[in-house]
Amino acid sequence: MESAAPGTEGHQGPHTGPHVGSHVGSHVGSHVDEVDRIVTDWRRERPDLDLEPLEVFSRVTRLARHLDLARRTAFTMHALDGWEFDVLAALRRAGEPYEMSPGALVTATLVTSGTMTNRIDRLEGRGLVERHRSPDDRRGVVVRLTGAGRARVDAAFTDLLAHEARMLQDLDASSRPELATLLRALSAQFDDPPAS
């Protein structure tokens, strides 16, 4: 899927402004983005194709790259890597006493058990998590968020939400729930397991 990611548009050709094509002028507020220009060019070159998927997913890709930058910025401010935040956030969301088994963390963060063991070791070395004997299985362990880990993930999450709020600031507040609903409907097909 062709996307118009920041800094990678590489758009060439004579049609580079908002005057291209009648389709572009129909957008809300007459705002034209790089995806509009790409779609207009493809519509001229390949009028036989339905370009609606390109209009949706090129923008999703572009926004995802901006979001990735916002995540890295927020986490760097708190000396966290993305994977560290993911593990700490899974523990934080679990609620008191903020602990999970390594297996549950594997499921929550979609990594292998070997990768998770390494990540727990590194977080434990930084004083952000602790291992404890499982109360339900004397041979098992649970991973628990420390006070320092909770403070770190809470601060990083607060800053991440501030970055994300700024990304939404040009979208009318009344439109945001509708956008969330549409995105939920689109993503559900990938989140739900196939019926057996």
**DSSP secondary structure string, 124-135?**
HHTTSEEEEE-S
Asked, for residue 188, whether it belongs to a domain, the answer is no
Is the domain of 53 the same as that of 113? no
Length of the chain: 196
Is the domain of 87 the same as that of 46? no
Between 184 and 134, where is the model more confident? 184
Q: Which tokens hold the place of 114?
A: 């070997």
Asked, for residue 8, whether it belongs to a domain, the answer is yes
Question: Which amino acid appears at position 69 of this protein?
Answer: L
66, 91, 120 — which closes off a domain? 66
Is the domain of 26 the same as that of 89? no
Asked, for residue 162, whether it belongs to a domain, the answer is no
Looking at the DSSP bridge assignments, the partners of residue 144 are 99, 130
Rounded CA separation 11/24 (Å):
16
User: DSSP letter string over 6-56?
Assistant: TT-----SS--STTSHHHHTTSGGG---HHHHHHHHHHHH-TTS--HHHHH
Total number of domains constituting the chain? 2
Rounded CA separation 92/103 (Å):
16
Q: How high is the mean pLDDT of the chain?
A: 85
Asked, for residue 167, whether it belongs to a domain, the answer is no
pLDDT digits (tens, 9 = 90+) for 50-105: 999 999 999 999 999 999 999 999 999 999 999 999 999 999 999 999 999 999 99
Instruction: Say if residues 98 and 145 touch (Cβ distance below 8 Å).
Output: yes
Between 183 and 27, where is the model more confident? 183
pLDDT at 54: 95
Say whether pLDDT at 193 is over 70: no
Asked, for residue 95, whether it belongs to a domain, the answer is yes
Instruction: Say if residues 143 and 130 touch (Cβ distance below 8 Å).
Output: yes
Burial of 98 (0-12, 13-18, 19+ CB in 10 A): buried
Rounded CA separation 38/15 (Å):
9
Query: By residue range, what is the domain housing residue 48?
Result: 1-66
Asked, for residue 14, whether it belongs to a domain, the answer is yes
Asked, for residue 59, whether it belongs to a domain, the answer is yes
Is the domain of 17 the same as that of 84? no
Say whether pLDDT at 12 is over 80: no
Asked, for residue 144, whether it belongs to a domain, the answer is yes
pLDDT digits (tens, 9 = 90+) for 112-149: 999 999 999 999 999 999 999 987 777 789 999 999 99
Backbone angles phi, psi at 129, to 5 degrees: -140, 165
Is the domain of 51 the same as that of 98? no
Is the domain of 22 the same as that of 44? yes
Check which CATH number belongs to the domain holding 140 and give it.
1.10.10.10
Is the domain of 91 the same as that of 152? yes
